[in-house]
Amino acid sequence: MKKIIIANWKMNPDTSARAVALARECEQEIASAKGLDVVLAPPYPFLREVASVLTVSSLGAQDVFWEESGAYTGEVSVRQLKDAGVEYVIIGHSERRIVSGETDDMVRKKIQAVLEGSMTAILCVGERERSGGEIPAFVGAQVRSALGGIKKTLLKNLIIAYEPVWAISTTSGANGSCTPDMMFRARLAIEKVVADIYDQQIAKTVRIIYGGSVSPENIATIFSAGHMDGALVGSAGLNAEKFGMIVRNASGV
């Protein structure tokens, strides 16, 4: 399975000139990386301009709305994203669930709209508090809810990102980092839910990736000991040099 590295720029940088410059720098850094997919996900207003400078990476968006068109002030549809060159859409990021009050039901509608629109959906799931034992059942519940009613044939365009909320942007935080063992257990738990809803074969085709303080130093372990198929990168993705190192280290695994 081809590995994937996705940079989620969140609400950065502040101008389109800076976004284009960052995209160019990232492209230069990753030019030699082979055998894996790379996605850059800038804020909505910069999508088109960033798209125009991408040659190695693909374009991602950080959100979407499920309706096709109409009176939905501030929302952006699947078609509008496609028209801007977007191929991947991040859905249900914890910052959207927590800050913007996105519910499991909204996440499900977005997943459905993106998959039916033949784009790739990156479904984010993850527990809020660190727990010493088993991966909390609600990670499984988040996956189950997000996939409710989704046809099996659409799953080929699904990526599931395990992002424990407590491990996001906390390289030296009080919570510590997510261990490879926890990642692997999360992977198995997610796979089991997908296999329960669909079947074992489908579960093996869904890429399961990790997000939360991904760095050039930990990327190889995330793949080897964590058994992840890729990574969702936040802050390190805003530094082209670091991002380049992540991608290069990942392509060597």
Residues near ligand PGA (CB under 6 A) are 8, 163, 168-169, 211-214, 232-236
Residue 231: closest CA among 182, 24, 241, 221? 221
Cβ(251)–Cβ(39) under 8 Å?
no
Give the residue closest to ligand PGA by C-beta.
Answer: 234
Does the annotation mark 163 as catalytic? yes
**Min CB(99)–ligand PGA separation in Å:** 12
Nearer to ligand PGA, 180 or 211 (CB): 211
**Min CB(169)–ligand PGA separation in Å:** 4
Extended strands (E) in the chain:
3-8, 36-41, 58-61, 86-91, 120-125, 158-162, 207-211, 230-233
Catalytic residue among 27, 93, 95, 102: 93
Nearer to ligand PGA, 169 or 179 (CB): 169
**Min CB(167)–ligand PGA separation in Å:** 7
- Alpha-carbon distance values, 87 to 40, 122, 165, 206 (Å): 10, 11, 25, 17
Nearer to ligand PGA, 203 or 246 (CB): 246
**Min CB(202)–ligand PGA separation in Å:** 25
Catalytic residue among 95, 102, 127, 163: 163
Residue 183: closest CA among 122, 121, 231? 231
Nearer to ligand PGA, 112 or 235 (CB): 235
Nearer to ligand PGA, 77 or 95 (CB): 95
Helix (H, G, I), strand (E, B), or coil: what is residue 23?
A: helix
- Alpha-carbon distance values, 108 to 35, 59, 91, 95, 124 (Å): 31, 22, 9, 16, 11
Residue 236 identity: A
**Min CB(235)–ligand PGA separation in Å:** 4
> What's the rounded Cα separation, in Å, for the pair 214 and 248?
14
Q: What angle do CA 234, 237, 241 make, to 5 degrees?
A: 150
Does the annotation mark 29 as catalytic? no
Catalytic residues: 93, 163
